[in-house]
Structure 1
Amino acid sequence: MRRRRGARSVDDVIDTPAPKRPRVPTWLRVLIPAVLILIWFGAFGAGGAAFGSLSDVSTNDQAQFLPASAEATEVAGLADEFRDSEAIPAIVVIASDDGSELSTAQLDAADELRTALTEVDGVLGDEASPVIASDDGEAVEIVLPVDTSEGAERPADVVAEMRTVVDEHAVDGTTSAVTGPAGFTADLSAAFAGIDGLLLAVALAAVFLILIVVYRSPLLPFIVLFTSMSALCASVFTVVALARADILLLSGQTQGILFILVIGAATDYALLYISRYRETLARYERRWDATWAALRGSWEPIVASGGTVIVALLILLASELTSNKILGPVAAIGIVFALLSALTLLPALLLWAGRAAFWPRRIAHRGDEAEPAHGAHAAGVLHEASAPDEHDLPDRGLWAGVGRLVSRRPRTVWIVSVLALAGMSLGLAQLDSDGVPSSEFVLGESQARDGQALLGEHFPAGSGTPALIVGPEDELQQMADTALAVDGVDSVAVVSADSPAGTAPVTADGVQAFGPPGTPAPEPTVVDGQVMLQATLADPSDSMEAEATVAELRTVLDEVGTEVLVGGQTAVALDTNDAAIADRTLVIPLVLAAILLILMLLLRSIVAPLILIGSVVVSFAAALGVSALVFEHVFGFPGADPSVPLFGFVFLVALGVDYNIFLMTRVREESLQFGTRPGIVRGLRLTGGVITSAGLVLAATFAALGVLPILFLVQISFIVAFGVLLDTFLVRTLLVPALAYDLGRVIWWPSKLARRAD
C-alpha cells in the first residue's frame, strides 16, 4: 500500500520504540515480577484476614452521618447530657389476635415477658418502661433501652436475643414484634449480612462467566479474578486500618459499593491491558518485550480512566452529608488499588504465563515487522480474530458494519441516538427522590416494619421515638403549649430524673405527677439552664407526615426563641434528606467541571471533551428516566433516597467517561496516521470488542448489588447497570462516533490535529 508523502507509519506515530536501553539482565527479568507477585500475595492474605473485621468497624446509625451543623446533631449531643446512658429504644408490642381486650392472664404474661427481656445482655433493665396498655385495651407496649456505648453488645445482636425471648415467652392469643429504632437497626444489619459472602460470590461468578465467553480460556479468567480480588483485599485492609484509627467512618452501603466498584474497575482495566498484551505477543517473541510494549500502550488510558473516577469520588468530600463524604475516600482507595493491580500484578502474572494464558487459542509470533493491531480483536465478545497484517482492517464482522453505518449516515445516526435518549429521559417526571421511610429501607420481610404497623393501630404511631425539644428552663410551659398546638403532636412530656418513668407529662396545666391526687409533680431535669421535652407524634416517626410535623415544630418554636432546638429520630431523617439534596446541587457541577478538565488535558482538545461530557449527561438522564419508570411501575418502590441520583450520577458519569476515554484515545492515535474521519471509524472498530466486554463486566458486577435486600443498593444497582449498558451499546458505539464523524477534525480544536487534512 502506498504511503502518503510525509505520512508516518503507525509504529512511528503510536508505537514508536523507546531509545535503545541496556539489555535487562535475565535475573532481573525474573526478580521483578516475582517480587511484585509476592507483594500482592501478601496483600491478598492480609486483606482476606481483614474481611472479618469489617462488621466491627462499620455502623448503620443514620445519625452518625449527619453534618455537625445539623440541628438534629446538636440535639443528639445535648440529649446525652440529660440521660445517664447511651441507648436507642427497642419497642415490644403485643396485640390481641381477635380484636378483643387483653385478659388479665395475658397482661400477667406480658409482665413476665417484660421481666425476661430486662435480663437480656445489652438491655438497660433499670430504664425499661412498665407494660403500657393502649386506650382500646387491645394491645400493650414495652419500651426497652438498648445500650450503644463503647464495649456494649451490638444492638443487632441484642435485638436478635430479645426476639428469641419474645418467641419463648409468647403470649397466647396475641401477636408480638420487636420494633422501634433498635428493631430497624437489627433488620438493616441482617440485610447487610450478605455483603461478605453472597454479594462477592454473585459478582465473581458473573465476571467469571463473562470472561469465559470472552476469552474461551481456562487460565486467563482466574488470572483476572485473582488480580481483582487482590485489589479488593488490599483495599479492605487499608480501609479497616483507617477505620480503626477513626480516620474513616464505614457503613454497610459504602462497604457494598467498595466491593463492586473495585471488582468491576480492576476487571475493566485488566481487559484493556490484556488486549494490548495479546497484540504485542504477536509482535515480540520474548515475553519481557511484549510486556514492556503492552504497558507502554495501555498505561495512559488506564491511568486516565482511573484518575477520572478517583477525582469524581474525591469531590464527594465537599458533601455535607457524612455518608456521602466518606464514600469518596473509601471508594477512591479501592480504585487506586485497582489501578495498581492492573499495572503491576496483572503484567507480572501474564509475563509468567505468556502465550499459555490464552490456551487453547494460539498467539503466534509474526515478527517485529508485523503491523500492530492495537488490540483490535483481543477481547471481543462478538468477534475475535487475528490482528490484520495490513493497514486496512478486514471489511467484515459486527464492528466493520457499525463503522460503515457511522461513516455513511453519521448525522442520521447521532440525531436518532439523541432522540432515543431524550425519549428515555421523559421518565424523569416520575422520579420521586425526596426520601423514603426508614421502615422501607429493607426489602422483603421486616419484623420491625410489621411491628411499627401493629403499634400504629393501637398507640400513637410515634410512641417510643418522640421528637426531642431542647430549650430554656423558663420557657418550658410555652414550648409545651406551642408543641401541643401543632397537628401531628399527640402528647408532650419533660425529661425528669425524679419521675419513675424518667419523664413527666406536660399539659396546659403544667407538669403532671404520677400517682394519687396530691402527689407533687416531679422536677424537670435541668442542664445548663435547659430542659428537654419529648413530643410523641401521631404518625410513625419514619413517615413523611412525621417529618412535616417536625418541620412545623421547628417553625413555630422559633417564635418562642431561636435557642429552641428540635431533634430526635424523625429530625435526623429530615436533616439527612435536606443535606442530601444540597449535596446534589453542589457535587454534580463540580464533578462535571473536574472531568471536563481531565479530558481536555488527555485529548489536547476542547471540543471533543465537551462532546463526551454532553453524551454521558444525556445518557445519565436517560438511565435515570427509565429507572424511575421501572421503580414506579414494575418494582412498586415507595420512592428513592435523595442520594440515589447523586451516587448514580457520580458512578455513571465517571465510569461512562471511562469507555469514551478508551475509544477517543484510540481514535486520536489512529487520526494521527490516517486522518480524523478514517481514524474515528478505525478507532471504533478496533475498540469495539474490548469496550463491549468491559461494559458487560461492569454492568454485571453492579447488578450483583441487587441481591442484597436494601432499597438504596437495589436502586443504585439498576441505575448503574442499565446506564453502563446504555453507554456501552448506544453512546460509545453510535452517538459519540457519529457526532465526531459529522463534525470531523474540528473535534480536536484547538490542537494541531484540528488543522490536519484527512
Structure 2
Amino acid sequence: MLGRLGGWVARHPWWTIGGWLVAAVLIVLLAPPLPTQPNQSHELSDDYQSVQVDRLQEHAFPGRQEAYTGVYVILRHPGGGSVTDADVVKAGQVGDALRGKKIVSVTGVDPQTTAPDRSLVWVPVRMIRSTVASVLVQQADAVTQIRAALPELLAGSDLQAKVGGDAAAYLDDSNSLSQSLSIVTIATLVLIIGLILLIFRGPLAAVLPIIVIPVTMEVALSIAAMVATPANLVFDQSLQIVVLILMFGIGADYFLFLLWRFRERLRAGDDRATALRYAVERAGRVIIGTALTTMGAVLVLLLASFRLFQAWGPALAIAVGTMAVTALTLIPALLRLLGPAIFWPSKGWQRQPKGRTAARLGQLVARRPAVVAVVSVALMAVLGAGVFTFKLSYDVQGGFPTDTESYQAQQQFEKVVPGAAGLNYPAEVMLRSKDGSRLGPEQLTAFVAAVQHLPGVGVVEPPSVGTADPSVAQVDIRLQQDPFSDDAIVHMRDTLRPAILAAAPAGTNVYVGGITSGYVDIDHATRRDLPVILVAAAVLIALILALVVRSLVAPLLLVPSVLLGFAAALGAAVYVFQDALDKPGLNFQLPLLLYLFVLAIGTDYNILMVSRLREEISMGHGPREAAGRAIQHAAPIAAAAGLILAGTFSVMLLAPVTMMRQLGFSVALGIAISAFVMAPFLVPALTVLVGRGFLWPSKAARQQDGRHTDRLSMAER
C-alpha cells in the first residue's frame, strides 16, 4: 500500500500539493478559535471536595458576583524611605483618577491604605472574581491601562509604582508564556536549520521542513479546535508550546527518515520517481509505526480523571497524525519536484559514506552483546535511582519568573501585610444539613469555634447562609500560609482538611474547597492517574509494537527497556532540579508527560532499529551479523534524528517558566537515551543474545542463513 502511495505521489506531485493546500486552507478557515482556559485547577470529576464546593456555591448562591481586590497599586520611595502625609494624599489622588477613568472590568477603587511601618501606601482596585478566559483578558487589559496611566499620575513625585494582584499576575504570566513561545520558536528554527545543514550540507534540505512544519502545525491546531467544541475539551495556555516542540521534533525526524532513504536510492542510480517510491515504502513503515505508538500513548490520557490531561491527549494525537499525513504526502511530493537539487550545492550525497565509526560500533555490539547490554542497563539504572526521592510540586505560581512587576509587588506587599498571599484565596468551607432543614445559628457558631484555633488557620470569616437554599452555608477560612505553596497544600491535605471535616456539627455534611483544597484534589487525581495511565500506555504500546514489528517477543524486551529509559530521565531531573537547584519538587504534570513522550517518541528509534534488523535478517544474515550491519546503516539515522528531536526539546530550557525547563530537560535526555543508548546498543545487543527468537513468530524468526554467515568476516575483524 505504501509503495502504491509513493508511486502515485511520484506520478502526480502537483495534484498532491494542490489537494493538500486546498484541504489545509479549508480546515484553517472553518475552524473556531482554540479554546483555552488559564486555570484548570478544578477541572475534576464531581466526587472531589473542591468540585462539590463549586456545585454547592452555584446552587445556594446563584448569580453571585464576588468582588475582590484584583489589583493593588503599591507606591513607595525607591530608596526605601517612609511615605509622608503628602505621599498619602498623592496616593488618594491616584485612586480618584483611576476611579474617574471608568476602566472596563474595574468595579471600584477603595481608599488608599498606609502600611503600619509607613514603608509604602497602596490603592486597592476591585474586580469581579472569575475564571472565564474572556473576563480575565479584560482584567489584564485593565492592568495594562492602569500601568500606562501611572507615570502621568505620579508626575512631580518621586514615588515609584508597582501594580500587583491576581489580574496583574495573570497578565505577567501570560506574557511569560508568550515570551517562552517566541524564544522556543526562534531557537527551534535555528537549531533545526543548523543541524540539517550539518548533516546534508544543503540549504534547501534545511529550509524545507521549516516551511512545511509550521503550516502543518496550524492545520493540526485548527483540527484540534474543531474537535474540542463537541468533545467539551478546554486546553491550557502551555499546549501550543508543547505542540510546537513536538511537531518540529517529529516532523524533522520524519523528514530525515524519508530523505535518508531517498538519498540511498539516488546514490544507487535510481531515477527520482523510483527513489521516492522506495523511500515512501521503506521509511513510511517506520513513520506509520512511530506515529501509531505516539498517538496511542497520548490518547491514553483520556483515562485520566484530571481534565487537563484528558484535553492534552486528543490534541497531541491530532498533531502527530497530521504530521504523519504530511510526511507521507506533501513532503514526498516536494522531494519529487526537487530531486537531487534538495542536496545542492553539496556533492557528498553522490558518495557512499564509509561509516567507519558506526561499523566499529556494530562490530563491538556483535562481539560483546552481553557486556554492551549490561553497561547500557547499568547506566540507565544509575540515573533512574533518583526516582526514589522525587517529589511532586503544585506551586504553579512559583514556577513563573520572579523579575515581573506583579511578583515584586507581591513580595513588597507581603512584608507589610502578613498573610497577604491568602487574602484573596481562602479555604471555602460549605456546610449542608443532612435533612434539608435550615442551618441554625448554633450549628454555625459551634463550627466557627471549632475551626478557628486549628493549626494554620489565620482568620475565620462570619458564615453566609445560602440565598437560594438556607440549608447551605459558606465559611471562608483564611490561611496563614501562601495558599499556592507546597507547604500549604501538604498541610491542607494531611492536617487541616481532615480536621475541618471532623469538626462538622451534628446533622451536617462539610465540604472543603478553595484553591488550596483544589490542589489537594489534583494531587489525589494525579496519584490515581499515574499508575492507571502508566500501565495502560505500556500495554497499548506493546500491542502496537507487536503489530508494527510483527513480533511477540520484541515488545516484551523493548517496553521494559523504554520504561528504564523513562526512569533514567526522571531520576536525572530529580538530581538536577530537586537536588542541585534545590527546587521543592518536580511539577506535578512532568512525570506523566515525560512518561508518554519517552515511551512513545523514544520507541521511534527502537522501531527504526528493529525494522533494519528484520531487513538484514530477511536478507539471510544471522543475528550477530545482522546486528552489526543494522547499527552501521540505522544508527546514524537514529543519531541524527535523535539529535534534532532532543535538541528541539532542549530549547525549552531557554523558557522563563520552570515547568517548561523541567519538561524540556527531561524529555531531551529521555530521547537522547533512546537514540544514543537503546537503539544503537541495547536493542541490537538483545537481538544477538536472544537470536532469531527476538522476531518470533514472524517469518524472519524462521529465516535460515543464506549465503551470509553469522560470523564476522575477516574484513570486519
TM-score (norm 1): 0.82
Q: Deviations over 1:481-532 (max 9, x none)?
A: 2221212211122366xxxxxxxxxxxxxxxxxxxxxxxxxx8856453222
**Residues 1:72 and 2:40 are matched in the alignment:** no
1:162 aligned residue (146, 168, 174) = 146
Cα deviation, residue 274, structure 1 = 1.4
**Residues 1:440 and 2:398 are matched in the alignment:** yes
Q: Which amino acid aligns with 2:105?
A: V
Q: Deviations over 1:560-588 (max 9, x none)?
A: 16632221222223322332222212211
CA contact (8 A) 1:50 1:236 kept: no
Take 1:713 and 1:463, find their aligned partners in 2: how far apart are those partners? Answer: 29
Q: Deviations over 1:299-334 (max 9, x none)?
A: 221101100000000000111111111111111110
**Residues 1:40 and 2:54 are matched in the alignment:** no
SS in structure 2 opposite 1:556?
A: helix
1:344 aligned residue (313, 317, 329) = 329
1:84 aligned residue (64, 68, 78) = 64
Q: Which of 163-172 and 623-632 deviates more? A: 163-172
SS in structure 2 opposite 1:324?
A: helix
Residue of structure 2 equivalent to 1:671: 617
Residue of structure 2 equivalent to 1:687: 634
Take 2:456 and 2:250, find their aligned partners in 1: how far apart are those partners? Answer: 48
SS in structure 2 opposite 1:193?
A: helix
Take 1:246 and 1:742, find their aligned partners in 2: how far apart are those partners? Answer: 48
1:530 aligned residue (451, 472, 492) = 472
Q: Which of 331-340 and 224-233 deviates more? A: 224-233
Q: Which amino acid aligns with 1:547?
A: I
Cα deviation, residue 440, structure 1 = 1.1
CA contact (8 A) 2:454 2:496 kept: yes
Q: Which amino acid aligns with 1:669?
A: E
Q: Which of 406-415 and 436-445 deviates more? A: 436-445
CA contact (8 A) 1:203 1:704 kept: yes
Residue of structure 1 equivalent to 2:713: none
Residue of structure 2 equivalent to 1:4: none
Take 2:24 and 2:463, find their aligned partners in 1: how far apart are those partners? Answer: 52
Residue of structure 2 equivalent to 1:467: 427
Equivalence map 1:176-255=2 (5 Å): 177-194=162-179, 197-243=182-228, 247-255=232-240
2:540 aligned residue (594, 598, 611) = 594
Equivalence map 1:706-717=2 (5 Å): 706-717=653-664
Q: Deviations over 1:72-103 (max 9, x none)?
A: 23323444536633767424164766888755
Equivalence map 1:148-547=2 (5 Å): 148=130, 152=135, 153-166=137-150, 168-169=152-153, 177-194=162-179, 197-243=182-228, 247-283=232-268, 285-361=270-346, 385-386=351-352, 397-433=356-392, 435-461=393-419, 462-472=422-432, 473-474=439-440, 475-494=443-462, 527-547=469-489
2:40 aligned residue (53, 58, 62) = 62
CA contact (8 A) 1:706 1:717 kept: yes
Unaligned stretches of 5+ in structure 1?
1-14, 364-377, 379-383, 388-393, 497-522
SS in structure 2 opposite 1:564?
A: strand
SS in structure 2 opposite 1:85?
A: coil
Residue of structure 2 equivalent to 1:749: 696
- CA 1:636–1:544 in 2, change beyond 3 Å: closer, same or farther? closer
Q: Which of 417-426 and 332-341 deviates more? A: 417-426
Cα deviation, residue 405, structure 1 = 0.7
Q: Which amino acid aligns with 1:316?
A: L
Take 1:16 and 1:305, find their aligned partners in 2: how far apart are those partners? Answer: 15
Unaligned stretches of 5+ in structure 2?
433-438, 706-717
SS in structure 2 opposite 1:145?
A: strand
SS in structure 2 opposite 1:597?
A: helix
CA contact (8 A) 1:484 1:491 kept: yes
Q: CA RMSD in A?
A: 3.3
Q: Which amino acid aligns with 2:296?
A: V
Cα deviation, residue 70, structure 1 = 2.8
CA contact (8 A) 2:105 2:138 kept: no
**Residues 1:698 and 2:645 are matched in the alignment:** yes
Residue of structure 1 equivalent to 2:710: none
Take 1:453 and 1:16, find their aligned partners in 2: how far apart are those partners? Answer: 60
Take 1:49 and 1:291, find their aligned partners in 2: how far apart are those partners? Answer: 32
1:637 aligned residue (560, 583, 592) = 583
CA contact (8 A) 1:230 1:341 kept: no
Structure 1 vs Structure 2: percent identity of aligned residues?
Answer: 27
- CA 1:437–1:681 in 2, change beyond 3 Å: closer, same or farther? same
Take 2:491 and 2:47, find their aligned partners in 1: how far apart are those partners? Answer: 21
SS in structure 1 opposite 2:624?
A: helix
CA contact (8 A) 1:92 1:176 kept: no
CA contact (8 A) 2:299 2:313 kept: yes
Q: Deviations over 1:444-491 (max 9, x none)?
A: 413333333333322242122222122243332233222212122111
- CA 1:321–1:170 in 2, change beyond 3 Å: closer, same or farther? farther
Q: Which amino acid aligns with 1:442?
A: F
Residue of structure 1 equivalent to 2:715: none
Take 1:548 and 1:168, find their aligned partners in 2: how far apart are those partners? Answer: 45
- CA 1:266–1:280 in 2, change beyond 3 Å: closer, same or farther? same
- CA 1:554–1:168 in 2, change beyond 3 Å: closer, same or farther? farther
Q: Which of 103-112 and 591-600 deviates more? A: 103-112
Q: Deviations over 1:241-260 (max 9, x none)?
A: 44566743122211111111
- CA 1:548–1:726 in 2, change beyond 3 Å: closer, same or farther? closer
Cα deviation, residue 608, structure 1 = 1.6
1:583 aligned residue (512, 529, 534) = 529
Take 1:580 and 1:627, find their aligned partners in 2: how far apart are those partners? Answer: 19
Take 1:193 and 1:753, find their aligned partners in 2: how far apart are those partners? Answer: 51
Take 1:625 and 1:406, find their aligned partners in 2: how far apart are those partners? Answer: 27
Cα deviation, residue 150, structure 1 = 7.4
Q: Which of 709-718 and 439-448 deviates more? A: 439-448
Cα deviation, residue 68, structure 1 = 4.1
How many positions carry a matched residue from both structures?
A: 682
Take 2:653 and 2:312, find their aligned partners in 1: how far apart are those partners? Answer: 19
1:556 aligned residue (490, 496, 499) = 499
Take 1:547 and 1:150, find their aligned partners in 2: how far apart are those partners? Answer: 25
Residue of structure 2 equivalent to 1:736: 683
- CA 1:689–1:640 in 2, change beyond 3 Å: closer, same or farther? same
Cα deviation, residue 272, structure 1 = 0.8
Cα deviation, residue 129, structure 1 = 5.1
Take 1:289 and 1:192, find their aligned partners in 2: how far apart are those partners? Answer: 46
Take 2:67 and 2:179, find their aligned partners in 1: how far apart are those partners? Answer: 26
Take 2:272 and 2:234, find their aligned partners in 1: how far apart are those partners? Answer: 44
- CA 1:174–1:571 in 2, change beyond 3 Å: closer, same or farther? farther
Q: Which of 566-575 and 86-95 deviates more? A: 86-95
Q: Which amino acid aligns with 1:478?
A: A
Take 1:89 and 1:590, find their aligned partners in 2: how far apart are those partners? Answer: 45
- CA 1:525–1:76 in 2, change beyond 3 Å: closer, same or farther? same
